[in-house]
Structure 1
Amino acid sequence: MSLIKVANLTFAHEGSYDNIFENVSFQIDTDWKLGFTGRNGRGKTSFLNLLLGKYEYSGKIAANVHFEYFPFHVENKQSNTLDVINDICPDYLHWQLMRELSLLEVSEDVLDRPYDSLSNGEQTKVLLAALFLRENSFLLIDEPTNHLDLNARKLVSDYLQTKSGFILVSHDRSFLDNCVDHILSINKTDIEIQKGNFTNWWENKKRQDRFELAENEKLKKDIRRLSDASKRTSNWSDEVEKTKNGTRNSGSKVDKGYVGHKAAKMMKRSKAMEQRQQSAIDARSRLLRNIETSENLKISQLTYHKRQLAELENVSIYYGEKRVCQDVSFTIEQGERIALSGKNGSGKSSIIKLICGENLTYTGTFRRGSQLKISYVSQETSHLQGNLTDYARNNRIDESLFKAILRKLDFSRAQFEKDISAFSGGQKKKVLIAKSLSEQAHLLIWDEPLNFIDIISRMQIEELLLEYAPTILFVEHDSEFCNNMATKIIEL
Structure 2
Amino acid sequence: MAQINVTGLTFGYEGSFDNVFENVSFMVDTNWKLGFIGRNGKGKTTFLNLLMGKYEYQGSITSNAYFDYFPYVVSENDLEKTPDELMEKWKPGVESWRVMCELPKLSVETELLYRPFKTLSFGERTKIMLAVLFSGDNDFLLIDEPTNHLDMEARDIVKAYLAEKKGFILVSHDRDLLDACIDHVLVLNRATIEVQNGNFSTWWDNKEKADAFARSENEKHLKEIGKLKAAADRTARWADKSENSKIGFDPVKENDRSISTRSFIGAKTKKMQSRVKSFEDRMNREIEEKEGLLQDIEETIDLKIMPLKHHKERLIECRDLSLKYIDGNENVIENLTFEVLQGERVFLSGANGSGKSSLIKAILFQNANFAGGNGVNDFMGGYDADADVIRREATGKNGSHATDSQSMGKLSLSGELKVASGLKISYINQDTSHLKGSLMEHAQKNGLDYSLLLAILRQLDMNREQFAKNIEDFSEGQKKKVLIASSLLTPAHLYIWDEPLNYIDVFSRMQIERLIEKYAPTMLLVEHDVRFREKLSSKEIFL
TM-score tier (shorter)? over 0.9
What is the deviation of 1:297? 4.1
Q: Distance in 2 between matches of 1:16 and 1:112?
A: 44
Confirm whether residue 342 of structure 1 aligns to residue 350 of structure 2.
Answer: yes
CA gap 1:94/1:21 in 2 versus in 1, 3 angstroms:
closer
Measured in 2, the distance between the counterparts of 1:134 and 1:78 equals 25
Aligned-residue identity in percent: 51
| Worse-superposed segment, 470-479 or 220-229 | 220-229
The answer on whether the counterparts of 1:293 and 1:408 sit within 8 Å (CA) in structure 2 is no
Of 294, 300, 305, the residue aligned with 1:299 is 305
Q: Which moved more, 1:451-460 or 1:80-89?
A: 80-89
Q: Which amino acid aligns with 1:262?
A: K
- The answer to whether the aligner puts 1:482 opposite 2:498 as a matched pair is no
Moved more, 453-462 or 390-399: 390-399
- Counterpart of 1:142 in structure 2: which amino acid? D
1:56-455 equivalent positions in 2, closer than 5 A: 56-75=56-75, 76-89=78-91, 91-247=93-249, 249-250=254-255, 252-254=257-259, 255-320=261-326, 321-322=328-329, 323-357=331-365, 359=408, 360-455=411-506
Q: SS at 2:332's partner residue? A: strand
CA deviations over 1:192-243 (Å, ceiling 9, x no partner): 1111111111111111111111222222222222112111111111111112
* In structure 1, distance between residues paired with 2:55 and 2:99: 33
The offset of 1:88, in angstroms, is 3.0
The aligned amino acid for 2:465 is A
Q: Distance in 1 between matches of 2:209 and 2:490?
A: 36
Tell whether the 8 Å contact from 2:300 to 2:507 is kept in structure 1 after alignment.
no
1: CA distance, partners of 2:480 / 2:108? 31
Between 221-230 and 430-439, report the one with greater CA deviation. 221-230
- What does residue 382 of structure 2 align with? none
Mapped partners of 2:519, 2:468: distance in 1: 29
91 and 345 in structure 1: CA distance in 2 versus 1, 3 angstrom threshold = same
Query: Bigger CA drift: 40-49 or 379-388?
Result: 379-388
Q: Name the SS for the 2:79 alignment partner.
A: coil
Query: 401-410 or 171-180: which moved more?
Result: 401-410
1:267 corresponds to which letter in structure 2?
Answer: Q
**Which residue pairs with 2:390 in the alignment?**
none
Moved more, 50-59 or 173-182: 50-59
Tell me the distance in 2 between the aligned counterparts of 1:103 and 1:326: 32
Please say if residues 302 and 511 of structure 2, whose CA atoms lie closer than 8 Å, have aligned partners that are also in contact: no
Aligned to 2:398: none
Q: Distance in 2 between matches of 1:252 and 1:470?
A: 79
CA distance in 2, matches of 1:444, 1:190: 37
Q: 1:97 to 1:10 in 2, by over 3 A?
A: same
Q: Is the 8 A contact 1:340 1:348 kept in 2?
A: yes
Return the letter of the residue paired with 1:180: I
- The CA distance in 2 between the partners of 1:219 and 1:398, in whole Å, is 41
Partner-residue secondary structure (3-state), 2:246: helix
Per-residue deviation at 1:175?
Answer: 0.7
TM-score using structure 1 length = 0.97
- CA 1:427–1:252: 2 relative to 1, 3 Å: closer
Partner of 2:16: 16
User: What SS is found at the alignment partner of 1:27?
Assistant: strand
Change (3 A) 1:355 1:26: same
**How many angstroms does 1:93 deviate by?**
4.9
Give a deviation string over 1:252-271, Cα, whole Å, max 9, x none: 41422211111111001101
| C-alpha spacing 1:193/1:252, structure 2 compared with 1 (3 Å) | closer
Report the AA paired with residue 457 of structure 1: S
CA distance in 2, matches of 1:18, 1:452: 22
Q: Deviations over 1:28-67 (max 9, x none)?
A: 0110000011001000011111111111111111101111
Once the two structures are TM-superposed, the CA of residue 335 in structure 1 deviates from its matched residue by: 0.3
Paired residues in the alignment total 492
In structure 2, the CA distance between the partners of 1:83 and 1:173, relative to structure 1 (3 Å rule), is same
Partners of 2:166 and 2:298 in 1: how far apart?
Answer: 31
Q: Structure 1 residues 165-174 or 244-253, which shifts more?
A: 244-253
Relative to 1, partners in 2 of residues 1:437 and 1:252: Cα closer, same or farther, differing over 3 Å? closer
- Tell me: CA distance 1:217–1:347, structure 2 relative to 1, closer, same or farther (3 Å): same
SS at structure 2 position matched to 1:7: strand
Partner of 1:2: 2
Q: 1:81–1:115: 8 Å Cα contact kept in structure 2?
A: yes
How far apart are the structure 1 equivalents of 2:464 and 2:99? 49
Contact 1:246 1:253 in 2 (8 A): no
2:103 and 2:257 mapped to 1: Cα distance? 104
Listed as ranges, the gaps of 5+ residues in structure 1 are none
Gaps of 5+ in 2: 367-407
Question: Which digits, 9 at most, give the CA deviation of each residue in 1:438-476, with x for residues without a partner?
Answer: 101100000111111111111111111111110000001
What is the CA distance between 1:400 and its match in structure 2? 4.3
Please tell me whether the aligned partners of residues 67 and 141 of structure 2 are also in contact (alpha carbons under 8 angstroms). yes
SS at match of 1:244: coil
Check the 8 A contact 1:294/1:407 in 2, yes or no: no
Find the residue that maps to 1:245 and give its secondary structure.
Answer: coil
Measured in 1, the distance between the counterparts of 2:97 and 2:16 equals 49
Q: Secondary structure at the match of 1:77?
A: helix
What is the distance in 1 between the residues matched to 2:37 and 2:357? 29
- Alignment partners' CA distance in 1, 2:167 and 2:29: 8
Residue 251 of structure 1 deviates from its aligned partner by: 5.1
Give 1:338's aligned amino acid.
V
Whole-Å Cα distance in 2 between the matches of residues 104 and 239 of structure 1?
83
* Structure 1 range deviating more: 164-173 or 93-102: 93-102
Contact 2:306 2:492 (8 Å CA) reproduced: no
Distance 1:487 1:58 in 2: 51
- Counterpart CA distance in 2 for 1:5 and 1:89 is 25
1:416-444: CA deviation from partner (whole Å, max 9, x where unpaired)? 23222221111111111111111011000
SS of 2:455's partner is: helix
Distance 2:175 2:480 in 1: 18
C-alpha contact (below 8 Å) 1:406/1:431 kept by paired residues:
yes
What corresponds to 2:509 in structure 1?
A: 458
Deviation at 1:13, TM superposition (A): 1.0
